[in-house]
Structures are given as C-alpha cells and as structure tokens.
Amino acid sequence: MNGVYCDTTEDLRVAKVLLGFPLAGGAVMNVSERRSAKDPYRFAGIKWCAAKSVWGLMRDRDILTYERMGLTVDADGEQWGYHTLQSTRRPEWSMEAIPGMQRQHTATCYLYRPRRDLNKTEIFLWGSIYKFGKYPDKVIYYGVASTWLNVVYSPKSGHA
C-alpha cells in the first residue's frame, strides 16, 4: 500500500504519475489522520485530482474525494489493507469551477490481502463511477477499468 499512500500534494502527484494516471493536477486538500510508526497506512482526508481526457474524446475530469486507508484484521486473524474513496461536495471547492473540466463522482473500495505463501498480494476492487454524459458505455467502461486497474503498478510507485 506504500505505492498508493500519499498525505502531501507532492506525494500525490508522484504516485498518480507512477500509477499511469493521466494527471492534469492534484492536491491533498485536508488531512485529518495520517500514518504513524504503529499504523503505517493510516490516512483520512480530502484529495482533489484532475485528469486529461482519455483519447481526447471527452471533457477533462476532476474528482474531489474523501479517502480512508488503513489496516484491519478479519475474523480469522488475517490482516487486510483497505483504501476507500467517496466523492464529496464542498462549497469551498465548487463543481465545474474550472472551464472545460467536469466533476466525476465515485465510490470505490480496494482491499489488499497479503499472501505470504505466494509472496504476492491479492487485490479486490468494488466501485461505481458516473457522470459521463453522452458517450457509449463500452468506451467509458474501458477507460474506467484501465484507470482502476492501474493499482497493479503500486509496488513500483512504493519503491520510487
């Protein structure tokens, strides 16, 4: 999860670029919880990101999300990592404030399960994303899936 953890604007921008996100801008707007020696993946706060349009077919997009990250233990005593993103609306960061930019809405949850026997981490994803306008669903689904699945590059980002 080091590859997706970022609690500063500089770290956010570096992580997004290393994850293959077509970054046009980004900032950590608020941090209410951050990592500690005892809890190295703890984060809660608000982040803003803007992305360049995929293939130039749509308007550029931005997203304002409340994010949480951390570790939890399941009923079998196995440790899991989680990363949730939920779109939020804040009057001080109004929607559609940037010309040519459309605000995206999402609810996304990643779960990370270390598999020591395989020396790998399983990643589970659930999410919804909407506000695309008039474009064909298949085109949109491809773009969203490729963005969500960039999480597989997080080990590279974590080592950078």
pLDDT tens digit string along 5-36? 999 999 999 988 888 778 889 999 999 999 99
pTM higher than 0.95 for the full model?
A: no
User: What does the pLDDT look like over 84-136, one tens digit per residue?
Assistant: 999 998 878 777 777 777 788 888 898 989 888 988 888 888 887 765 566 66
CATH number, span 9-159: 3.30.530.20
Give residue 136's pLDDT: 61
User: What does the pLDDT look like over 34-93, one tens digit per residue?
Assistant: 999 999 999 999 999 998 876 666 678 888 999 999 999 999 999 999 999 999 988 787
Strand partners, 31: 45
Give residue 81's pLDDT: 93
Q: What is the dihedral of CA 64, 42, 124, 135, to 10 degrees?
A: 10
- What are the residue ranges spanned by the domains of the chain? 9-159
Single-letter residue type at 58: M
Give residue 116's pLDDT: 86
Nearest 5°: phi and psi at 93? -125, 75
User: What does the pLDDT look like over 133-154, one tens digit per residue?
Assistant: 666 666 666 666 666 666 665 5
Sequential DSSP letters for 65-109:
EEEEEEEEE-TTS-EEEEEEEEE--BTTB-TT-STTEEE-EEEEE
